[in-house]
Amino acid sequence: MKAVELESERLFFRPLSQKHLSLAYVNWLNDIEVNTYLESGGNYTLQLLADFLKEQEQKDILFWAIHLKDSNKHIGNIKIDPINYERNSGEYGILMGDKENWGKGFANEASKRIIKHCFEQLKLTEITLGVIENNIKAVSLYHKIGFITTEKNEKVGVYNNKLSNSLRMSLDVRNFK
């Protein structure tokens, strides 16, 4: 299953591809503030990002670049991967890389649009995710959308110089807000 172009009120969603290769994207991945709670990030080069994008482009994956409608600026990425067809479930992930656009509701808008697509068009019945408990803004966003915490793993690693817990969260199609 491949990502298709979608849109919401203020955003376009385009399949992530090599067209998204840019120094700005590399800088997001190397920015400590952006990658604080990510499993990957830091020490990226244009070549490493080019290789990653090429690899993603070849996969059967739901992976979108998030663009502003008014400027076409690439501000982040969102994906549902992997998909568990037996459970009709997909694993959610989002990166809002462009710090100039933090706090404007774009992560909420993007999340709702992609999740709605997965529930309505792809007929998934559950979206799951993992998040570091100290990532307060992300956890708050997920609760607003309707995710519930299903599991807490204690002391999984050091994030933002603190020994941190991770949460598993789930959103059932019936609880989507």
The confidence band for 57, taking pLDDT boundaries of 50, 70 and 90, is very high
Half-sphere exposure of 109 (CA within 13 A, CB side): 21
**What is the chain's mean pLDDT, rounded?**
93
- The helices-and-strands tally (H runs, E runs) of the chain is 5, 8
Q: Are 84 and 118 in contact (CB under 8 A)?
A: no
Domain boundaries, the chain: 6-175
Q: Are 80 and 91 in contact (CB under 8 A)?
A: yes
Rounded CA-CA distance 4/43 in Å is 30
pLDDT (0 to 100) of residue 52:
94
Q: Domain 6-175: give its CATH code.
A: 3.40.630.30
| pLDDT tens figures, 23-34 | 999 999 999 999
| pLDDT tens figures, 71-99 | 999 999 999 999 999 999 999 999 999 99
DSSP alpha helices (H): ranges in 94-161? 106-120, 136-145
pLDDT (0 to 100) of residue 84:
93
